Amino acid sequence: MKKTIVLVVVVLLTMAQFVFSSGTQEAAGKGGDVYTFVVQSHDPENSATGKFLNDWASRLDKASGGRIKLDIQHGGVMGSPKDTLSLIESGTADIGFGLSAYFSGTFKNSEAISFPLIDLPDATVASKVYWHLYKDYDFLKDEYKDYHVLLLFANCQSPITTVKTRIVSLDQFQGMNVRVNSGPPTAFIQKLGASPKPMPITEVNTALQTGAIDGVITDWHAIENFQLYEPAKYYADEKLGVSGYFLLMNKDSYSRLPADLQKILDDNSGDACLAYSGQYWIDAEANAKASVKSDGDEIYNVPGAVRAGLEAKAQETIKEWAAAHDNGQAIVDALYSLIKKYK
């Protein structure tokens, strides 16, 4: 009797481990085994990110005949944005969407996509430039060697968002506290005389309300997604820069796929995603601007002299970045070449 009970317990525990482990391989059906992969995303499901990931999952499902399923955990339910890499590395998440700027020092050469005031008109162009900087050159490959890279892409452009200050002079940046991403955006804002205040995007709305920060440099998608238009008032629409996103997969999770499904996954990632992903951020920018105007806020352009000053500081930032990085100038040259190609 005891042996029977023990056997039943062992069987139940084995079944539970099978059901709840990430990268679950389900029972074989008519077309073969079904593989379900857990995806970590810190953005809400109704965001551009959420819509893109759901679209991607649907396309993979269809292309694989229902054999590749994505269990997308939207809204950071698995962890904060800064937990994404550890979740992928541990296999807790098979795939992770994240922002490379949250991992300062990890993706050093990838910072190039976040240079201020480079000529990236929208998310589609920015994403093609970023992906092909990875795909066509060797500068970024070592930074992602521990992962199976599904896609590197970018968001829409960032205005300078402030609560009380309409910017008409460079002197107004002096003493400002500004939330900004790490890397070149931080160096740029320091050159303007402002103090960078790093924090997760989820905390920015409150920080603007309480006066902990005077402004933020983030994309229109985040302004809409996190209702930053509620505390903010002014938006200098100067296309200050984009941020680089990643879609990375645990290598062991990838290796569990048979070769035919690996090909389907790869064929429906990378360049295939770029055919439609950027539109979600283009739409998000339009929606954000509509929300800002509905709130009675002001979208404006800075005076010509201010714009010239911003561009001068941006060039200083890029030049110093190139000097401080191995192959820095070669990366800058490759970036500008890709911008020319895909713009």
pLDDT of 9 higher than 80: no
Cβ-based burial of 115 (10 A; exposed 0-12, middle 13-18, buried ≥19): buried
Q: Can 20-155+243-284 and 160-242+295-342 be said to share one CATH topology?
A: yes
What is the percentage of the chain residues whose pLDDT exceeds 90? 89
Give mean pLDDT, residues 20-38: 67
pLDDT in tens, 291-324: 999 999 999 999 999 999 999 999 999 999 999 9
Q: What is the pLDDT of residue 17?
A: 35
Using CA atoms, how far apart are residues 151 and 73, in angstroms rounded to an integer?
Answer: 18
Residue 200 or 134, more confident: 134
* CATH H-level superfamily of 160-242+295-342: Bacterial extracellular solute-binding protein, family 7 (3.40.190.170)
173 three-class SS: helix
Q: What is the pLDDT of residue 1?
A: 42
pLDDT in tens, 69-101: 999 999 999 999 999 999 999 999 999 999 999
Using CA atoms, how far apart are residues 238 and 236, in angstroms rounded to an integer?
Answer: 6
Read off the tokens for 322: 């190139």
- Between the two ends of the chain, the Cα-to-Cα distance in Å is 73
Read off the tokens for 254: 């990838």
At 200, the pLDDT band (50, 70, 90 cuts) reads: confident
The hierarchical CATH code for the domain 20-155+243-284 is: 3.40.190.170
Q: What is the pLDDT of residue 283?
A: 96
pLDDT in tens, 156-199: 999 999 999 999 999 999 999 999 999 999 999 999 999 999 89
Q: What is the pLDDT of residue 26?
A: 58
Whole-Å CA distances, 84 to 24, 134, 182: 19, 20, 17
At 8, the pLDDT band (50, 70, 90 cuts) reads: very low
Compute how many other C-beta atoms are within 10 angstroms of the C-beta atom of residue 229.
Answer: 21
Using CA atoms, how far apart are residues 97 and 77, in angstroms rounded to an integer?
Answer: 13
Cβ atoms of 153 and 187 closer than 8 Å: no
> Taking the CA of residue 240 as centre, how many other CA atoms within 13 Å lie in the half-sphere pointing to its CB?
26
At 102, the pLDDT band (50, 70, 90 cuts) reads: very high
pLDDT of 28 higher than 80: no
233: nearest Cα among 223, 242, 243, 241? 223
Whole-Å CA distances, 289 to 153, 157, 200, 227, 249: 22, 12, 22, 12, 34
pLDDT in tens, 206-248: 999 999 999 999 999 999 989 999 999 999 999 999 999 999 9
Read off the tokens for 182: 């790490």
Using CA atoms, how far apart are residues 327 and 112, in angstroms rounded to an integer?
Answer: 12
pLDDT in tens, 320-343: 999 999 999 999 999 999 999 999
Q: What is the pLDDT of residue 23?
A: 61
252 Cβ contact list (under 8 Å, min separation 6): 23, 91
At 32, the pLDDT band (50, 70, 90 cuts) reads: confident
pLDDT of 20 higher than 70: no
Q: What is the pLDDT of residue 220?
A: 96
Give mean pLDDT, residues 125-140: 98
- The residues spanned by each domain of the chain are 20-155+243-284, 160-242+295-342
Its pTM stands at 0.89
Query: Strands (DSSP E) along the chain, which ranges?
Result: 24-29, 32-40, 68-73, 95-99, 148-154, 160-162, 177-179, 195-196, 215-217, 234-236, 244-249, 298-300
